[in-house]
Amino acid sequence: MSAGPVRSGSSRWARARGACAAGAALVLLGSAITAPLSMASALTGTGSGSASVLSGAQRLDPESFSEALVDTTVSVASPTAPGRSERAALYSLQQFMFTGSVAWGGYRFTYYSQQVLPGPGLRIPGRHVNSDGYVSDGDGFIVLAGSAPKGSVFETPFGYQGKIYDRGTFGNHLDVYIR
């Protein structure tokens, strides 16, 4: 038995893909080259037909506006307590503990119980458990562990700003200390 020539269909597909890619490149380059010419003629009125009609119809007369286009009034924001977020809590402690992990604002928040590291294990001035069950410092910031420099402040979805006091996570992962 003699084997006949084996024909591969892949060479046909390769040629077809190459031809399609070349055609797409020509269309893209052609439209990129001719677009500035058509826009310039539309704006200067040197083009023909509808382009010159459109360019004459678009005029701005500043005296015809009697009211301000931009609101320039300044309002004073009410001050919030240090550590307290301007946003309301999106998650209660119970919801947070039930889910175990919350993805919010580009960060992943997990929790860590202070019972693992109680009392003076970390030097946190004014360390206490706040009314919502989060471990906080004396300024009201909830205690976070992360790879950012110690003292960095983060917005959290728990109604408080958090401050880095410990290590143990990496990147956009933050541990929140709880009761």
Residues 106 and 39 in one domain: no
Residues 36 and 106 in one domain: no
Residue 87 lies in a domain: no
Residues 51 and 105 in one domain: no
Domain range for 156 is 93-178
Residue 85 lies in a domain: no
Q: Is the pTM of this model over 0.75?
A: no
Residues 48 and 118 in one domain: no
Q: What is the pLDDT of residue 154?
A: 94
Residue 76 lies in a domain: no
Number of domains in the chain: 2
Q: What is the mean pLDDT of each run of 10 residues along the chain (179 residues)?
A: 58 81 78 61 52 54 63 58 71 92 94 75 85 93 93 93 91 92
Q: What is the helix (H) or strand (E) element at residue 99, kind and residue range?
A: helix 93-99
d(C-alpha 32, C-alpha 42), whole Å: 16
Q: What is the pLDDT of residue 159?
A: 92
Q: What is the pLDDT of residue 162?
A: 94
Residues 158 and 101 in one domain: yes
Q: What is the pLDDT of residue 75?
A: 59
